[in-house]
């Protein structure tokens, strides 16, 4: 069984940002199990924490940037690539500055610094993401494809990258394949430096980027090859693209097990692959939920709720975690009475009835928490209601509610309804518990 990992002691690294040239200091600190990897801007009036997750990515050209409110941290991919290679799960990275130091343009300084601190296994199981089916993202002639591992017992990531800058450039076409292990990453990938064409340098400097850099600080390719800076590998450019890809993929939040084929991809497409893999995982989990036997069937639900056809909107409950969370199913069919009068030529389930279904599931959840005899949950208020997609006949609504607060006579829940992996509606719902009418 894989265990989670962090570092043994605090270590620091400092330098200037690749694009901005601003000085920056990173302090790597151990973090407890299940906390994940966070950047913390300690140079702000109040420290701002930003999780190293794809949902915090802010769109930038030629680099990966994380943002939380007005605070951001630029060019994090080389640092995250080293974290991924070492299998780190939990780490706090305090940052004084807006851009991670460029160092020599590779991951090696970050890798050496983290190794200097020592790596420590923690008393908690480590989770991985195993690619179970093909996923593909593409943009123009660039693409990334994720595939399952060739063997069920292989717990590594294999990357094949096809880089093609065109025959008219000194970089040309380069391909490289590597299986990511700490040892191979250190010797084959980590030393590969970021690179740029000489004509691109002029464009970037015109935009105010990289004004502090010399030819010794970054690989600049002129017509005859690198200018005043010898290559570390014949195919250093494609190796660096793999380095970037590994760092970007780590924004999934877990190590990835499987095979990745990338052709001419950049940061935005790398991020799109992370989102695609997370979507695949959500779809798989939701499909598993739909196949689960009912915790409560409709007969049990009718004993808990004062609703009957045609206003009983929950067909079965498939998950019930005490008083914290419940997941239910509503099968939407053309036989629903409301379809006769609600857009009959283009049937759409009324949004208020989606909220009603969520409210009914919330009532079941509250019955677990409050355990009142002779009480029913009555809708008190709705807040932050959003409708994201239409629900049509044939759809299967996956309803999920989570308790936010509960008191003796008030309940407050967060509710979401999905069709497949797509969010259909969401709301915060409050209930008041009142005495039931005698039967």
Inter-residue contact 81 to 243 (CB < 8 Å): yes
Q: 315: which 2 tokens?
A: 């067909």
The secondary element (H helix, E strand) that includes residue 13 is strand 11-16
Residue entry with tokens 């399952």: 148
How many Å apart are CA 194 and CA 267, to the nearest integer? 13
Active site residue 372: no
Q: Active site residue: 267, 271, 307, 372, which one?
A: 267
How many Å apart are CA 80 and CA 114, to the nearest integer? 11
Active site residue 342: yes
Inter-residue contact 369 to 402 (CB < 8 Å): no
CA angle 235, 220, 232 (to 5 degrees): 35
Q: Compute how many other C-beta atoms are within 10 angstroms of the C-beta atom of residue 400.
A: 20
The secondary element (H helix, E strand) that includes residue 379 is strand 375-387
Residue entry with tokens 């690294």: 13
Positive or negative, the Cα torsion across 214, 217, 218, 224? Answer: positive
Q: Compute how many other C-beta atoms are within 10 angstroms of the C-beta atom of residue 46.
A: 7
Task: Determine if the peptide bond prior to 365 is cis (ω within 30°).
Answer: no
Q: Active site residue: 3, 212, 300, 342, which one?
A: 342
Residue entry with tokens 């690749």: 18
The gap from C-alpha 65 to its chain's centroid, in whole angstroms, comes to 14
Q: Which residues are catalytic?
A: 267, 342
């Amino acid at each position: 069984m894989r265990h989670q990992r962090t570092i043994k002691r605090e270590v620091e690294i400092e330098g200037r940002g690749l694009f901005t040239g601003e000085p920056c200091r990173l302090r790597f600190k151990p973090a407890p199990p299940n906390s994940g990897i966070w950047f913390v801007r300690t140079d702000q009036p109040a420290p701002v924490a930003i999780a190293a997750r794809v949902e915090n990515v802010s769109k930038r050209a030629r680099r990966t940037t994380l943002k939380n409110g007005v605070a951001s941290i630029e060019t994090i991919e080389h640092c995250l690539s080293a974290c991924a290679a070492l299998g780190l799960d939990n780490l706090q990275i305090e940052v004084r500055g807006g851009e991670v130091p460029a160092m020599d343009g590779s991951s090696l300084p970050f890798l050496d610094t983290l190794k200097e601190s020592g790596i420590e296994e923690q008393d908690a199981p480590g989770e991985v993401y195993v690619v179970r089916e093909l996923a593909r993202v593409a943009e123009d002639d660039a693409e990334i494809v994720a595939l399952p591992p060739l063997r069920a017992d292989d717990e590594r990531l294999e990357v094949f990258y096809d880089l093609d800058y065109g025959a008219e450039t000194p970089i040309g076409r380069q391909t490289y394949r590597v299986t990511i292990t700490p040892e191979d990453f250190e010797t084959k990938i980590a030393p590969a430096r970021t690179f740029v064409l000489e004509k691109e340098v002029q464009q970037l400097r015109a935009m105010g980027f990289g004004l502090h850099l010399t030819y010794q600080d970054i690989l600049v390719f002129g017509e005859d090859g690198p200018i005043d800076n010898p290559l570390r590998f014949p195919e250093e450019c494609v190796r660096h693209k793999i380095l970037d890809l590994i760092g970007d993929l780590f924004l999934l939040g877990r190590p990835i097990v499987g095979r990745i084929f990338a052709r001419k991809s950049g940061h935005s497409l790398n991020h799109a692959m992370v989102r695609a893999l997370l979507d695949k995982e959500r779809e798989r989990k939701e499909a598993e939920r739909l196949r689960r036997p009912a915790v409560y069937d409709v007969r049990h639900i009718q004993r808990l709720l004062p609703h009957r056809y045609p206003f009983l909107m929950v067909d079965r409950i498939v998950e019930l975690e005490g008083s914290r969370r419940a997941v239910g199913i509503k099968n939407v069919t053309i036989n629903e009475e409301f379809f006769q009068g609600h857009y009959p030529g283009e049937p759409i389930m009324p949004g208020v009835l989606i909220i009603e279904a969520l409210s009914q599931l919330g009532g079941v959840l509250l019955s677990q928490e409050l355990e009142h005899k002779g009480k029913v949950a009555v809708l008190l208020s709705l807040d932050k209601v959003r409708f994201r997609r239409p629900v049509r006949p044939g759809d299967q609504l996956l309803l999920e509610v989570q308790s936010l607060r509960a008191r003796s006579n008030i309940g407050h829940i967060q509710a979401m309804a999905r069709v497949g992996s797509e969010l259909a509606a969401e709301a915060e719902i409050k209930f008041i518990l009142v005495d039931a009418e005698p039967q």
